[in-house]
Amino acid sequence: MPTVHVEKDRCKGCELCTRVCPEQALGMSEKINAKGYFYPVAKEADKCTGCRRCVLMCPDEAIQVEVKGKRTAPPEALTGAPLHYCPGCTHGVIHSLIGDAIDHLGIREKTVGIAPVGCSVLAYNYFNVDMQQASHGRALALATGIKRGRPDLAVFTYQGDGDLASIGMAETVHAANRGEKVTAIFVNNAIYGMTGGQMAPTTLPGQITSTTRAGRDVKHAGEPIRMVELLNELQTPAYLTRVSVHDPKHILAARKAIRKAFKYQMDGVCFSLVEILSTCPTGWGQTPHDACGWVVDKMTPYFPLGDKKVPEAA
Amino acid sequence: MEKKLMKGCEAIGEAAICAGARLFFGYPITPQNEIPEYLSSRMPQVGGTFVQAESEVAASNMLYGASGAGKRVITSSSSPGISLMGEALSYMAGAELPAVIVSIMRAGPGLGGILPSQSDYFQATKGGGHGDYRVMVLAPETVQEAVDHTIKAFDYADKYRNPVIILADGILGQMMEPVTFPEPVRPEDLPEKPWATTGAKGRERNIVNSLYLNPDVLEERNWQLVKKYEAMREDVEFDTYHLDDEVDVMIVAYGTVARIARTAVDTMREQGMRVGLFRPVTVYPFPSDALAEAADKAGAVLTSELSTGQMLEDVKAAIAGKRPVEFFGRVGGNLMAPEEIVEQVTALMERQGRSVA
Per-residue pLDDT tens over the stretch A8-30? 999 999 999 999 999 999 999 99
Q: Which residues contact B271 (CB under 8 A, 6 or more apart)?
A: B357
A88: three-class secondary structure by DSSP: coil
As beta bridge partners, residue A67 has A70
**A84, A111, A133, A181: best mutation site toward chain B, by most B Cβ within 10 Å?**
A133
* Segments in chain B below pLDDT 50: none
**Is A131 within 8 Å of B208 when comparing Cβ atoms?**
yes
Let me know whether A15 and A154 are in one domain: no
Residue A296 contacts B where some CB pair is shorter than 8 Å: no
Question: pLDDT tens for residues B305-326?
Answer: 999 999 999 999 999 999 999 9
What residues in B contact A146, CB-CB < 8 Å?
Answer: 65-66, 68-69, 197
Going by C-beta distance under 8 Å and a sequence separation of 6 or more, which residues neighbour residue B251?
Answer: B261, B264, B265, B275, B276, B277, B278, B301, B302, B303, B304, B341, B345
CB contact under 8 A, B65 and A143: yes
Residue of A nearest to B207 (CA): A131
Q: Length of chain A in residues, anyone?
A: 314
Interface test with A, best of B97, B205, B213, B218 (most A CBs within 10 A): B205
> Has residue A314 been placed in a domain?
no
Rounded Cα distance between A113 and B207, Å, is 9
Q: Is the peptide bond before A248 cis (omega within 30 degrees of 0)?
A: no
Query: Is the same domain home to A252 and A130?
Result: yes
Domains B4-234 and B238-351 share a fold: yes
Report yes or no on A79 lying in a domain. Answer: no
- Cα(B68)–Cα(A132) distance, integer angstroms: 7
Contacts of B63 in chain A (CB under 8 A): 145
Answer whether residue A81 is part of any domain. no
Task: Note whether A138 and A20 are same-domain residues.
Answer: no
Q: Which of A133, A150, A173 sits opposite B69 (nearest CB)?
A: A150
How many C-beta neighbours within 10 Å does residue B190 have?
Answer: 16
**For chain A, how far is it from start to end, CA to CA, in angstroms?**
41
Confirm if A117 and A136 have CB atoms less than 8 A apart.
Answer: yes
- Contact B69/A145, CB-based, under 8 Å? yes
Let me know if residue A96 belongs to a domain: yes
Tell me the mean pLDDT in the region A46-69: 97
**Together in a domain, A131 and A54:** no
For A119-154, what is each residue's pLDDT tens digit? 999 999 999 999 999 999 999 999 999 999 999 999
8 Å CB contact between A83 and A126: yes
What CATH number has the domain bearing residue A304? 3.40.50.970
Does the beta-carbon distance from A148 to B201 stay under 8 Å? no
| Domain-terminating residue out of A71, A106, A129 | A71
Whole-number Å distance between alpha carbons of A180 and A155: 10
* In chain B, where the domains are located: 4-234, 238-351
How far is A180 from B13, CA to CA, in rounded Å?
A: 25
Q: Quick one: fold of B4-234?
A: Rossmann fold (3.40.50)
| Contacting A residues, span 104-143, partner chain B, CB-CB under 8 Å | 108-112, 114-115, 121-122, 124, 128-135, 138, 141-143
Instruction: Give yes or no: residues A40 and A133 share one domain.
Output: no
B131: chain A residues, CB-CB within 8 Å = none
DSSP 8-state symbol, A163: I
Using CA coordinates, name the residue in chain B closest to A125.
B207
Does the residue A275 lie in any domain? Answer: yes
Closest residue in chain B to residue A168, using alpha carbons only: B58
- The CATH number assigned to the domain holding A51 equals 3.30.70.20
Facing A141 at nearest CB: one of B58, B202, B206 = B58
The verdict on a CB contact (< 8 Å) between B25 and A145 is yes
pLDDT above 60 for A314: no
Residues A54 and A180 in one domain: no
Establish, for the pair of chains A and B, how many residue pairs have beta carbons separated by less than 8 Å.
Answer: 133
3-state secondary structure of A174: helix
Q: Do strands A130-133 and B99-105 pair parallel, antiparallel, or not at all (unpaired)?
A: unpaired
B197 and A131 within 8 Å at the Cβ level: the answer is: yes
**Domain end among A71, A106, A125:** A71
Q: Which of A142, A149, A178 faces B71 most closely, judged by CB atoms?
A: A149
CA distance B9 to B140: 12
Per residue in A252-273, pLDDT tens?
999 999 999 999 999 999 999 9
Pick the closest to residue B170 from B340, B333, B338 (CA basis).
Answer: B333
* CB atoms A145 and B73 under 8 Å: yes
Q: Measured in whole angstroms, how far is the alpha carbon of residue B333 from the centre of its chain? A: 19
The ipTM is: 0.96
For B115, residues 6+ apart whose C-beta sits below 8 A from its C-beta are B31, B106, B107, B170, B332, B333, B334
CATH topology of domain B238-351: Rossmann fold (3.40.50)
Residue A66 and residue A160 in one domain: no
Q: Is residue A40 located within the same domain as residue A182?
A: no
Asked if pLDDT for residue A313 goes beyond 80, the answer is: no
* Closest partner CB to A124 (pick from B25, B57, B209): B209
Residue A274 has pLDDT above 60, yes or no: yes
Report A:72-111 residues touching B (Cβ under 8 A).
108-111
User: Burial of B45 by CB count in 10 Å (0-12 exposed, 13-18 middle, 19+ buried)?
Assistant: exposed
Q: Are residues A107 and A154 in the same domain?
A: yes
Reported pTM: 0.97
| One domain, residues A265 and A124 | yes
Residues with Cβ within 8 Å of A188's Cβ and at least 6 positions away in sequence, in order, are: A160, A161, A165, A202, A227, A275, A276, A277, A278, A299, A303
Chain centre distance of CA B347: 31
Answer whether B209 sits within 8 Å of A148, measured CB to CB.
no
Q: Where are the beta strands (DSSP E) in chain A?
A: 3-6, 27-32, 38-41, 63-67, 70-71, 111-115, 130-133, 154-160, 183-188, 238-244, 271-277, 306-309
Q: Do A185 and A238 sit in the same domain of this protein? A: yes
Helical residues (DSSP H) of B126-248, grouped into ranges: 143-160, 170-174, 215-231
DSSP reduced 3-state for B195: coil
User: Using the beta-carbon criterion (under 8 Å), do B69 and A128 form an inter-chain contact?
Assistant: no
| A173 touches B53 (CB < 8 A) | no
Q: Report phi then psi at A192, rounded to 5.
A: -85, 105
> Is-contact A98 A108, C-beta < 8 A?
no
CB spacing of B65 vs A153 below 8 angstroms: no
Q: What is the pLDDT of residues A168-221, one digit of tens each?
A: 999 999 999 999 999 999 999 999 999 999 999 999 999 999 999 999 999 999
Regarding whether A124 and A39 lie in a shared domain, the answer is no
- Yes or no: say if B40 and B204 are a contact pair by the CB < 8 Å rule: no
Whole domain around residue A49: which residue ranges? 3-71
Enumerate residues 6+ apart whose C-beta is below 8 A from B133. Answer: B89, B90, B93, B94, B127, B225
Answer yes or no: is A77 within a domain.
Answer: no
Judged by CB atoms closer than 8 Å, whether chains meet at A148 and B66 is answered as: yes
* Total domain count, chain A: 2
- Cα dihedral B102, B210, A189, A12, rounded to 10, equals 170
Bond prior to B31 in cis (omega within 30° of 0): yes
Cross-strand partners of B49: B23
Query: What local confidence, expressed as pLDDT, does residue B356 receive?
Result: 72
Indicate the average pLDDT of chain A: 97
Does A178 reside within a domain?
yes
Q: Is the peptide bond before A301 cis (omega within 30 degrees of 0)?
A: no
